[in-house]
Amino acid sequence: MDDGTLNSRWNFIPNTPFSDNGIIQSTEDSCLCMRSTDTHDGTAITLAVCDRNDNNQRWQEWSNNNGFFNFYNIGSSGDQVCVAEDSHGTLIQRNCNTNAQEQLWHTFDVTTQTLDPPF
């Protein structure tokens, strides 16, 4: 959840301009990115030194066509898992569901102060 502080905000860095996949970088520490520690449902998401070649750090945007997005972990080999927030506010992976509230994200452009598509 974005509580207005830098440690709750993230930057999506596409692999190429206008790409729908890339890394999700910490705004508080730009050397760190979200990384899946495993490829299954319920796995914690940690921070690791950003590495575009690490598939466990690569995420793809899926739109639910209602202005929200899921972020699918490209490195998940079996389950299709997406970034989710658990009941304690911790980022984890859940089996992707484009209607699950804990998996739906908006992107906010701090320059224009508007909600925008991430890519």
Q: What is the DSSP letter of 10?
A: E
How many Å apart are CA 38 and CA 41, to the nearest integer?
9
In a domain, 75, yes or no: yes
How many Å apart are CA 34 and CA 26, to the nearest integer?
8
**Residue 4 pLDDT exceeds 60:** no
In a domain, 46, yes or no: yes
pLDDT (0 to 100) of residue 9: 73
CATH of the domain at 87: 2.80.10.50
Q: What domain range is 56 assigned to? A: 6-112
In a domain, 119, yes or no: no
**Residue 71 pLDDT exceeds 60:** yes
In a domain, 49, yes or no: yes
Band of residue 116 on the pLDDT scale cut at 50, 70, 90: low
In a domain, 88, yes or no: yes
How many Å apart are CA 71 and CA 100, to the nearest integer?
12
**Residue 1 pLDDT exceeds 60:** no
| pTM assigned to the model | 0.79
The pLDDT mean for the chain works out to 81
In the chain, how many domains are there?
A: 1
pLDDT (0 to 100) of residue 54: 93
26 CB contacts (<8 Å, ≥6 apart)? 7, 10, 11, 32, 33, 34, 47
In a domain, 118, yes or no: no
